[in-house]
């Protein structure tokens, strides 16, 4: 598909018509993906297909500093459908299909390169999806733990204009479905997915003189504190939960108003610890702790888009008496700031590729 677009880029005439990229747009993409779950021996025969329809809001001319620094071109809000019937989990010789997935996805297009009038885009995305089959509709399975799941995507695509209002788009992306450990088991579906589609500009031109930044930023570096609580599911129990509280304290080093580096310490308090004498009742996989408290230090970065901040950090435990001798962890999350100093946060704690628990709460910056 990328080869088809490259061929189009090389053609004379109307293919190189000047696309009006100051307008908003509607995109329609057809998608096909293959299973890349390392733990699934049946993955070589697994595939999905589907559609993605989105409204692409032009942000290139909105005057925000983060759009200039990140070279952001549009914010997309879309709906997705994936047929997972050919994504099968094999249990005792029986193949169980994945069902259907219906989702809502938010994305941001970041331009990496300008290739003539074509452009190369990197597009991270985050959303929610409803999946029809899970461990309760198919009790022998362990891939999808609940109907409602996180949908995480990251795409690399090429957009080639074919008229003043239309362009062809093709690319590939990674796609992940899981519930973040809220219900377990929760292996999740992971696919490498290709897409091809059409983007059509709509509405009046959004080009205008740059406006001043509307969202107030903290000037200079700052300390940060967040705290909250969350849950991890009990094994094959629809309603049972392990409750945990979390705390983070650290410092942010701003490179600019869109990118900052950070360092700090995470602490987690277990309301139920792991007891080997009550193994089935208290076992929590890589999150199984023999003590009520675990804590570590981590480094990472923030990407700031106005009041929305995306975060990722990688850390080493200084204290964690655990069943699997885990020494390293990472966290990722999103924050929304009502003011430059106060916001709400959701943070997913992970060990390797296994989600531990999700924390929800408040975040303060000083």
25 within 8 A of 182, measured Cβ to Cβ: no
Cis bond upstream, residue 185 (ω within 30): yes
pLDDT in tens, 206-250: 555 455 555 566 777 999 999 999 999 999 998 999 999 999 999
- State how far the alpha carbon of 78 is from the alpha carbons of 57, 107, 179, 263, in Å: 11, 8, 20, 34
The whole-angstrom separation of Cα 361 and Cα 191 is 31
Portion of the chain with pLDDT greater than 90, in percent: 78
Mean pLDDT estimate for the chain: 90
The full set of domains in the chain, from first to last, is: 2-202 (2.40.160.20), 222-365 (2.40.160.20)
* pLDDT at residue 305, rounded to an integer: 92
Residue 65: HSE in the Cβ half-sphere, 13 Å Cα cutoff: 15
* pLDDT at residue 257, rounded to an integer: 86
pLDDT in tens, 79-109: 999 999 999 999 998 999 999 999 999 999 9
CA pseudo-torsion sign 66, 69, 75, 80: negative
- State how far the alpha carbon of 29 is from the alpha carbons of 49, 87, 89, 188, 235, in Å: 11, 20, 27, 23, 37
Q: Which residue has the higher pLDDT, 268 or 353?
A: 268
Place of tokens 């999740």: 188
* pLDDT at residue 3, rounded to an integer: 52
């Amino acid at each position: 598909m990328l080869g088809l677009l490259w061929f189009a880029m090389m053609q004379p005439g109307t293919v190189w018509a000047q696309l009006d990229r100051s307008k908003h747009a509607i995109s329609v993409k057809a998608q096909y993906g293959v299973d890349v779950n390392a733990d699934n021996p049946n993955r070589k025969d697994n595939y999905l297909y589907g559609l993605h329809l989105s409204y692409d809001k032009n942000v290139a001319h909105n005057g925000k500093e983060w759009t200039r620094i990140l070279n952001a071109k549009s914010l997309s809000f879309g709906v997705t459908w994936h047929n997972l019937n050919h994504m099968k989990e094999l249990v005792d010789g029986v193949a169980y299909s994945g069902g259907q997935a219906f989702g809502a996805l938010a994305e941001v297009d970041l331009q990496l390169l300008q290739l003539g009038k074509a452009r190369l885009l990197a597009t991270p995305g985050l959303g929610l999806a409803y999946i029809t089959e899970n461990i309760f509709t198919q009790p022998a399975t362990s891939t999808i733990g609940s109907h409602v799941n996180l949908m995480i995507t990251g795409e690399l695509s090429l957009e080639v204009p074919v008229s003043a209002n239309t362009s062809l788009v093709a690319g590939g992306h990674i796609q992940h479905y899981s519930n973040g450990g809220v219900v377990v088991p929760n292996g999740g579906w992971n696919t490498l997915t290709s897409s091809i589609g059409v983007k059509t500009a709509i509405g009046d031109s959004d080009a205008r003189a740059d406006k001043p930044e509307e969202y107030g930023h903290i000037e200079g570096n700052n300390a940060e504190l967040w705290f909250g609580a969350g849950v991890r599911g009990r094994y094959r129990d629809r309603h049972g939960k392990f409750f945990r509280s979390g705390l983070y304290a650290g410092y942010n080093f701003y490179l600019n108003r869109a990118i900052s580096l950070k360092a700090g310490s995470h602490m987690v308090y277990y309301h139920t610890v792991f007891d080997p004498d009550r193994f089935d009742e208290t076992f929590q996989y890589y999150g199984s702790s023999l003590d009520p408290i675990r804590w570590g230090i981590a480094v990472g970065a923030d990407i700031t888009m106005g009041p929305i901040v995306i975060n990722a950090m990688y850390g080493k435990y200084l204290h964690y008496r655990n069943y699997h001798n885990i020494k390293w962890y990472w966290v990722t999350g999103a924050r929304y700031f009502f003011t430059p100093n106060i916001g709400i946060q959701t943070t997913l704690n992970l060990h390797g590729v296994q989600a531990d628990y999700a924390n929800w709460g408040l975040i303060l910056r000083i």
